[in-house]
Amino acid sequence: MKKLLLLVLVGLLAFSSCKKDPVIDDNPPIDNTRNFNDIVTSVVGVVVDRNNVAIEDALVEFGQETAMTDENGVFRIDNATVRENRAFVKVTKDGYFHGSRTYFAHANQRSQVRIHLLEKTIQGSINSSGGNVTLPEGVKLDFPADAVANADGTPYTGTVQVAAQYLDPTANDLNFIMPGDLRGITTENVEEGLSSYGMVAVELIGSGGELLNVADGKTVTLTMPVASTQSSVAPSEIPLWFFDEVTGVWMEEGVATLQGGEYVGEVSHFTFWNCDVNWDLIYLDGSVLLEGAAYEGALVCLTFDNGNGFYTACDYTNEMGLYSGKVPTNTTFEITVHSNGFNCSNSFYIYTGTIGPYTADATVDAINIDPASIAVNSLDLTGMIVDCDNNAITNGYVIATVGNNNYYVYTTDGTIDGNIIHCATSGDITIKAIDYNNAKQSDPASYPFTNAIDFGTLQACEQLDAFININLDGQTYTMIWEVIIYDSTATGSGVQTINGFDDNQSFLFMTTNGNAIGTYDALNFNFSFLDPNNPNSYITIASTDVDITFTQYSGVVGETCIGTFDGTVPLNGVDTPISGSFKTPRQF
């Protein structure tokens, strides 16, 4: 969750690396000008569900760039153009509500985020005569008659399934499960900070799985329970805010009134809705160092009392050790710096102090962590990761498993040289290398609990669980996202479809009647890839002059099919050889 510092209970992110180079001054030159512009920046992150289980093949959007999460839930997007005060990472995956993070970014630097996706749980259904749906936590949705429309605005008359999830504003993981951050645009077009008294995500789904809308001229009554810890300070009237999934910001729309310990208001469309009080903001930034070196991935939290109770705002430091965001004016903050192991206790911190109050934008003095104070929880990690030809991996990372947490250290030249601050005190440490470009991984290497590991050289030669490699016109394409095989009859004996994506959203789709080990004609073979002469367009080719060979085949869901393909496709008016290989689990 990068660049957030705005009333968000961020929690702990399982990314951590203190770069030993470069070393920066105790008071780094942080830009205090507030004319925010479009910048080029990068982001890495992990996407998991609410149980902290990695979500593979989720689509991540950042600026105009996209990526898919790998089997560890990890993604990386480099050199995207975004607004520096509103960098917006959006994640989409079937069966889940959209997840996102909005933050302050820095030009030509890498930020880190962690996003938890909420399942689209069907909480009830209604029909054209109206009805009501109540969530287990007490959220109520009351629909009048004829309240639902198709996407084109025409009335919908069938059964409507209502998917919804309540977001408790006092939950420890609110920062991970809520969208964006807690900045909002008022009806007067002013950006202010928000303090939540309850959120809910809602979607209306038709019988064919299509998304539906609230009909024009209709409203739905939304009732939101007030948490017991907030009831004594809950205002009698509170603004309603919806999350704009295009801009990545909360927008004020409507008012809810306090009635018997619940907020009641009217909404005219569905997304995430939020009951919030708002306040004035200033911009704050600073840096965290570890023995004078930039500490990337440290979790910096500010706890404060805004008059309605205590709140915590957090941000992760970027690769230069910087944190930044907007916070309330005229407020004193307790500042803590945490290790970013996700399962660490919130009380596990490596620095604490007091800052503020501030009446204008400010830079906080740099925090320089003494390594001696965290020696038992510090791991120096060094080594080299290479591919099967012993070439340095230029787009990869290592996963260090310490205790119950995974920590990720990235590389663009094969060199791993970083420091991980964790919260474990015993147990083996496991290291594994990932080669992003070639869809390969190393065997895990295990070490006894220690403060320093030089793992030498790890060679990533083992195939990932799913990939498609394509060779066309001297170019190699590797697809590791959404790589699946499925059957037209769900029996393993119908028409087999294999498809997958790569980092550039190149897409392969091929079908065959083959349902055993052997070679078969392709019924369809479609390949769409980025035009090397025009990065804003794609070339799509189609052919049936391709053979598909299964060297391993299974019709059982979850088991793996392995094979190759070769033939010719029309490229620029010329029949051009194409070949490749695949390994894919069966989806159905």
Q: How far apart are CA 120 and CA 131, in angstroms?
A: 20
pLDDT tens column, 95-128? 999 999 999 888 888 888 889 999 999 999 999 9
Which residue matches tokens 């980025």?
Answer: 530
In three-state secondary structure terms, 174 is: helix
Taking a C-beta distance cutoff of 8 angstroms, is the pair 31, 352 a contact?
A: no
pLDDT for 3 = 24
- Residue 12 pLDDT > 50: no
Distances (CA, A) of 194 to 105, 249, 401: 20, 11, 36
Contacts of 228 (CB under 8 A, 6+ apart): none
Region 145-151: mean pLDDT is 95
Strand partners, 133: 141
Find the Cα–Cα–Cα–Cα dihedral 366, 422, 464, 554, rounded to 10°.
Answer: -140
pLDDT tens column, 185-232? 999 998 888 889 999 999 999 998 999 999 999 999 999 999 988 888
pLDDT category at 340 given cuts 50, 70, 90 is low
Q: What share of the chain is helix, strand, coil (3-state, %, to 5)?
A: 0, 60, 40
Taking a C-beta distance cutoff of 8 angstroms, is the pair 285, 363 a contact?
A: yes
Distance of alpha carbon 442 from its chain centroid, rounded?
Answer: 25
Per DSSP, 156 falls in state -
Which residue matches tokens 């009805």?
Answer: 131
Task: Specify the long-range contacts of residues 386-393, CB closer than 8 Å, at least 24 apart.
Answer: 386/414, 386/457, 386/458, 386/459, 386/460, 387/435, 387/438, 387/440, 387/459, 387/460, 387/461, 388/438, 388/440, 388/459, 388/460, 388/461, 390/459, 393/433, 393/435, 393/436, 393/437, 393/460
Q: How far apart are CA 509 and CA 579, in angstroms?
A: 14
Higher pLDDT, 112 or 341: 112
Q: How far apart are CA 417 and CA 410, in angstroms?
A: 9
pLDDT tens column, 219-265? 999 999 999 888 888 999 999 999 999 999 999 999 999 999 999 99
Q: Which amino acid is at 132?
A: N
Structure tokens at 246: 């295009």
- Residue 426 pLDDT > 50: yes
pLDDT tens column, 454-495? 999 999 998 777 889 899 988 888 887 778 888 877 676 788
Query: Nearest Cα to 404, choosing from 73, 99, 68, 51?
Result: 51
Structure tokens at 84: 């520096």
pLDDT for 19 = 34
Q: How far apart are CA 247 and CA 367, in angstroms?
A: 33
What is the torsional sign of CA 12, 17, 20, 23?
A: negative
Measured between alpha carbons, how far apart are the two ends of the chain, in Å? 35
Distance of alpha carbon 336 from its chain centroid, rounded?
Answer: 24
Contacts of 557 (CB under 8 A, 6+ apart): 586, 587, 588
How do 452-459 and 467-472 pair as beta strands?
A: unpaired
pLDDT tens column, 561-576? 999 999 999 998 899 9
Higher pLDDT, 22 or 395: 395
pLDDT category at 142 given cuts 50, 70, 90 is very high
How do 183-185 and 249-259 pair as beta strands?
A: parallel
pLDDT category at 552 given cuts 50, 70, 90 is very high
Angle at alpha carbon of residue 407, lines to 402 and 408, rounded to 5°? 145
Q: How far apart are CA 364 and CA 150, in angstroms?
A: 51
pLDDT category at 307 given cuts 50, 70, 90 is low
pLDDT for 345 = 54
b/e 571-583 (16+ beta carbons within 10 angstroms → b): beeeebebebbbb
Higher pLDDT, 345 or 578: 578
Structure tokens at 228: 């017991």
Q: How far apart are CA 83 and CA 88, in angstroms?
A: 8
pLDDT for 309 = 58
pLDDT for 155 = 94
pLDDT for 27 = 38
* pLDDT mean across residues, the chain: 85
**Which range has highest mean pLDDT (180-184, 193-197, 264-268, 403-407)?**
264-268
Q: How far apart are CA 3 and CA 95, in angstroms?
A: 28
**Which range has highest mean pLDDT (183-197, 345-359, 470-484, 522-536)?**
183-197
Higher pLDDT, 52 or 543: 543
Please give, one letter per residue, the 3-state secondary structure of 67-101.
EECCCCCEEEEEEEEEECCCEEEEEECCCECCEEE
Query: Nearest Cα to 418, choosing from 405, 400, 430, 434?
Result: 400
Q: How far apart are CA 232 and CA 247, in angstroms?
A: 34
b/e 199-217 (16+ beta carbons within 10 angstroms → b): bbbbbbbbeeeeebbbbee
Strand partners, 267: 220
pLDDT for 25 = 34
pLDDT for 405 = 76
pLDDT tens column, 504-518? 668 898 999 998 999
Provide the edge-to-edge strand list for the sheet that holds 349-355. Answer: 310-316, 299-305, 333-338, 349-355
